[in-house]
Amino acid sequence: MSQENILTVENLVMHFGGIKALNDVTFNIKRGSVSALIGPNGAGKTTVFNCLTGFYKATGGHIMLSANSKDTSVIKVLGEPFKVTDFISPVAFYQRLKYKMFGGSHLVNRAGLSRTFQNIRLFKEMSVVENLLVAQHMRANRNLLAGIFNTSSYKRSEDEALERAFYWLGVVDLTEFANRLAGELSYGQQRRLEIARAMCTNPEIICLDEPAAGLNPSETEALTKMIRVLRDQHNTTVLLIEHDMGMVMDISDYIVVLDHGEVIAKGNPDDIKNNPKVIAAYLGAEEGEEVTL
């Protein structure tokens, strides 16, 4: 298990039919950092996210998640096709079959990675607290009999879940809306609730897909603060896709720039700001031309 890097992406390739969405993407995310994935529209940022979080099964390459004190191969837990060697080794066969039958993106979350979505995906007809309680499903006491007979251990587990839910509501400043329907919240509140919900799964790394999209400047500032709180107080690594360059340059320790499905630059904000390739990709200028961000 790698101590330094929480996420290692090597030679990631993703094809949709004949379209090559990602071509040989390689980068590492350091533990405890705030990293950003940027690039022009259609560069493949969300595709990278969906591969990392297990919603797309990458066509090729490796994604290694080192969290919850173990290494998890994201592609493997989604269930790969059988190989000839599987039929010789029963252990490999069993593993493959297990992941084929019970594998999926939920295992990526259980391995310590959680995410939010570009177009918010809340449980709109459930209350705000319930949204957070669902996120704690894996930690709850799921014993049917305990729940039906309302045993003390079940009660304790439910109380803890509720306590944690209210803690996170406090962090994202939504305590007063606890018993409202999630769908009734304003856009900015829904974004914050989604982050709180992702944090309720107790991840070591959280992937935010355009968290500042549609927020006004003061909300964006609050979000920036919140991301710092996640990193500093909860030891959570943050990976985000964002178009708001001001915010990205402000909070990121490390930036990966994608264009046309390829990594064209990586480094700290200052490097990226002055990288001619990046400037060219954003402004469509010829390479070598002098443009400043």
Which residues make beta-bridge pairs with 206?
114, 238
Contacts of 78 (CB under 8 A, 6+ apart): 54, 57, 99, 103, 104, 105, 107
Q: Cβ of residue 210: shortest distance to other proteins, in angstroms?
A: 13
Choice between 96 and 115, CB closer to other proteins: 115
Choice between 23 and 202, CB closer to other proteins: 202
Site of interaction with other proteins (CB under 8 A): 16-17, 46, 50, 53, 55-56, 102, 104-106, 109-110, 114-115, 117, 121-127, 129-131, 133-138, 140-142, 144, 147-148, 150, 159-160, 162-163, 165-166, 175, 178-181, 197-198, 200-201
- The full length of the chain comes to 293
Choice between 114 and 220, CB closer to other proteins: 114
Q: Cβ of residue 270: shortest distance to other proteins, in angstroms?
A: 33
Structure tokens at 210: 């355009």
DSSP 201-217: T--SEEEEESTTTT--H
Q: Which residue has the tokens 């592609």?
A: 75
Residue 214 dihedral angles phi and psi, to the nearest 5°:
80, 5
Q: Name the nearest CA neighbour of 251 among 38, 34, 39.
A: 34
Q: Cβ of residue 74: shortest distance to other proteins, in angstroms?
A: 13
- Spatial separation of the C-alpha atoms in residues 268 and 156, rounded to whole Å: 45
- Spatial separation of the C-alpha atoms in residues 160 and 154, rounded to whole Å: 10
Q: Name the nearest CA neighbour of 240 among 15, 52, 95, 21.
A: 52
Choice between 80 and 130, CB closer to other proteins: 130
Q: Cβ of residue 230: shortest distance to other proteins, in angstroms?
A: 17
Which residues make beta-bridge pairs with 113?
205
Strand 205-209 relative to strand 237-241, pairing: parallel
Choice between 157 and 275, CB closer to other proteins: 157
Choice between 194 and 255, CB closer to other proteins: 194
Choice between 131 and 224, CB closer to other proteins: 131
- Spatial separation of the C-alpha atoms in residues 7 and 67, rounded to whole Å: 8
Q: Cβ of residue 179: shortest distance to other proteins, in angstroms?
A: 4
Q: Cβ of residue 133: shortest distance to other proteins, in angstroms?
A: 6
Q: Cβ of residue 64: shortest distance to other proteins, in angstroms?
A: 19
